[in-house]
């Protein structure tokens, strides 16, 4: 009698999260549609902070930035990260408990950071929410999801929030 290989396949899914309802919807959609009991799932919650501003003693308007102001801005950024990750982890907790959840926080241009991290950790899939910008706004601001879809090596799932369709 031949032994059956019961080893489960490992699957690493990265979900880019931010403050938006669209990213939280994409996370819920991922948990409902991409997580399989037949695999060992690692869900990576990826949040990208904007690059830290470069402060001089005087800003453009001539105001002096104190150390206290800079520390307050940095604390606000950390609180925002914790808030977003907390909301995302709460959503994960409502789904299967057999999912390993990792957190990664990057800093810089979201397009570059997401692409670099997804490739570095060798993700199997990248899931992103779509903000549903129109043509002109997307042309001016650029689309993070479009950029990532063109530059990462793994499949990319862009999830539209039902209210934006």
Report the predicted TM-score, pTM, of the whole model to 2 decimal places: 0.81
Q: Higher model confidence: residue 5 or residue 69?
A: 69
Cα–Cα nearest to 144, from 133, 71, 55, 155? 133
Q: What is the dihedral of CA 25, 84, 151, 28, to 10 degrees?
A: -20
Rounded to 5°, angle at Cα 50 from 156 and 68 = 155
Q: Higher model confidence: residue 142 or residue 73?
A: 73
Is the model's pLDDT at 126 over the cut of 90? yes
Average pLDDT over residues 125-146: 73
Fold (topology level) of 10-51+81-159: Rossmann fold (3.40.50)
Is the model's pLDDT at 65 over the cut of 80? no
Instruction: Please tell me what DSSP assigns to residue 61.
Output: T
Distance in angstroms (rounded) separating the CA atoms of residues 1 and 4: 9
What pLDDT score does 140 carry? 53
| Cross-strand bridge partners of residue 158 | 128
Rounded to the nearest integer, the mean pLDDT of the chain is 82
Distance in angstroms (rounded) separating the CA atoms of residues 49 and 115: 14
In the chain the beta strands, taken as DSSP E runs, fall at 9-16, 39-49, 99-107, 125-130, 156-160
What pLDDT score does 1 carry? 45
What pLDDT score does 98 carry? 72
What pLDDT score does 125 carry? 96
Is the model's pLDDT at 47 over the cut of 70? yes
Reported as a single tens digit per residue, the pLDDT across 70-122 is: 777 778 878 889 999 999 999 998 886 678 999 999 999 999 999 999 999 99
The contacts of residue 113 (CB under 8 Å, 6+ apart) are: 48, 106, 107
What pLDDT score does 97 carry? 66
Domain boundaries, the chain: 10-51+81-159
Average pLDDT over residues 124-139: 74
Instruction: Please tell me what DSSP assigns to residue 39.
Output: E
User: How far are the Cα atoms of 52, 53, 68, 71 from residue 62, in angstroms, in the given order?
Assistant: 20, 16, 17, 19
Task: Compute φ and ψ for 43, nearest 5 degrees.
Answer: -105, 125
What pLDDT score does 161 carry? 80
């Amino acid at each position: 009698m031949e032994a059956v290989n019961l080893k489960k396949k490992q699957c690493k899914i990265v979900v880019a999260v931010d403050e938006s309802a669209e990213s939280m919807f994409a996370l819920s959609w991922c948990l409902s549609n991409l997580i399989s009991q037949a695999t060992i799932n690692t869900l990576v919650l990826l949040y990208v902070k904007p690059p830290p501003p470069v402060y001089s003693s005087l800003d453009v308007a001539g105001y002096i930035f104190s150390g206290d102001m800079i520390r307050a801005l940095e604390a606000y950024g950390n609180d925002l990260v914790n808030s977003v990750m907390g909301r995302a982890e709460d959503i994960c907790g409502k789904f299967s408990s057999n999912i390993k959840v990792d957190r990664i926080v990057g800093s810089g241009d979201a397009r570059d950071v997401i692409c670099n991290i997804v490739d570095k950790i060798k993700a199997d899939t990248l899931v992103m929410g779509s903000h549903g910008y129109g043509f002109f706004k997307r042309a001016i601001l650029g689309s993070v999801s479009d950029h990532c879809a063109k530059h990462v090596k793994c499949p990319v799932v862009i999830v539209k929030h039902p209210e934006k369709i």
